[in-house]
Amino acid sequence: MNKLLKFIKYLTVFLFALIFIQCSSEENDDTGSNGSGNTPSLTASLSSLSFEDTQVGQNSQLKSFTLSHTNLSSDINLTTTSPFELSVDGSTFSSQLSLPVLTTSSLIFVRFIPDAINTFQENIVIQTTDIADDIVIALNGSGTPVIHNYLTFNRTRVAFGGGFNQTSVQTFNLHNDLSNIEAIKMYVKLTCPSGGCDEWDVFANVKVTDPLSGERYEMARFITPYWNDNSQLPRGFEFDVTDFKSMLTGNVELRIRTECWNAKGYEVSVDFDYIEGTPDYQYYGITRVLNYDNGSQAGVPYGVAHTFDLTRSINIPSNAQSTHLRTIISGWGGQAASGDPDGRTCAEWCYRTHSVSINGANMFQHNLGPLGCASNPVSNQAPGNWTPDRAGWCPGMEVPTRIDSFTSSMAGTTFTFEYGFENWTNTTTDNSFYPVSSFVVVKSDTPISRAVVVD
């Protein structure tokens, strides 16, 4: 009997101890997960999101991340700040989301809608009352200007022979409202026809027709690559043609020309980006000063007597707030011995400095020196002789546009203009030429007439 009582006593003590240990274990398990015995967790698949540059007022491409969670009893709340927005379905967006914890993961979509030209840095803050620390995802993106794109020539074939012509003239409808256009960029894309491209580096340009005079103004010049196109450049050759904005509106006639002398030639595409922003001045006017630009041998003869007039008288409107000259020039003819110490022949190869004289004083200079042809990104020109430096241009490259800005507005003044070459005498029978175009550009915040140019 005593043994039985002892056994019962020991058994009772053991059971009380077991109950005490179990209770203590439950009291110390502070998971906040409704007694499940597991710690709540919440993680995001990334800590930052970077968006591509996006035009003002446009939606970016969607980005996404995943939230993974376990043992949560309260909703997950996400907040962000404009111009970023959140969504669970990729179609309905807001700055706040509240997610019930029905599943163990959630896919979150994020988009960027910039409202200004700026760089934006914001955060997504992710919270739940089950966990003390917030999760923060950094966001960044840049708003860029609104761009209106217009395709004009579209793989238009220019060649010589085989039913093709070296030039094409067409009319296009371009942007009408220029009041908020800050810049106009033009892109020229060359594509090889099925039979291949022209083998040579040739003179080429794009002109716009002046609606008042019917004259064609050279907006841009380039030299074609040997044997190939310019597909190594995503959009082709790039030119700033903002100076011609008064002509690049509404119904516009354009001309493209390549001096190809075979039936291969090129397929040429030209498109324009009208970039919104605040113009430097609201009104532009442009007038032609020199126009010896219809081909490589239509330029001014160099080193010999000639009858090309390189002097002008220019009158600037009284309300001009800014005046500058715009010039394109490239040398042609590579056989005439220059007599230079380096033996470079003229006018393709001989380095020269040209001058622009205003009222008889040398005011601006144009250096026709090396541009680094071997570094040209349009490098697929073998077996052409494309790497040696020419005088101020390279095969498969834009010919530089030279901007000469006056330090004052020149408003209401009349001045003389003269374009000058370095002295040199061609003692050979080979010809050298400088095709040149030059314009005077005036700007104002009040309606402005063009400068008047007199030969």
Number of C-beta neighbours around residue 179 at 10 A:
8
Cite the active site residues. Answer: 201, 259, 348
Query: How far apart are the C-alpha atoms of 41 and 39, rounded to whole Å?
Result: 6
Sole residue written with tokens 């917030």:
134
Sole residue written with tokens 């697929």:
380
CA nearest 378: which of 197, 251, 147, 218? 197
Q: What is the DSSP code string of 395-408?
A: TTEEPPEEEEE-SS
Tokens of residue 218, six digits:
């050279």
Tokens of residue 341, six digits:
């110490």
257 beta partners = 167, 205
Tokens of residue 234, six digits:
């995503």
C-alpha radius of gyration, the chain, whole number: 36
DSSP annotation of 162 reads T
- Is the dihedral angle over the CA atoms 280, 284, 289, 294 positive or is it negative? positive
Query: C-alpha angle with apex 170: 166 to 173, nearest 5 degrees?
Result: 150
Amino acid at 446: T
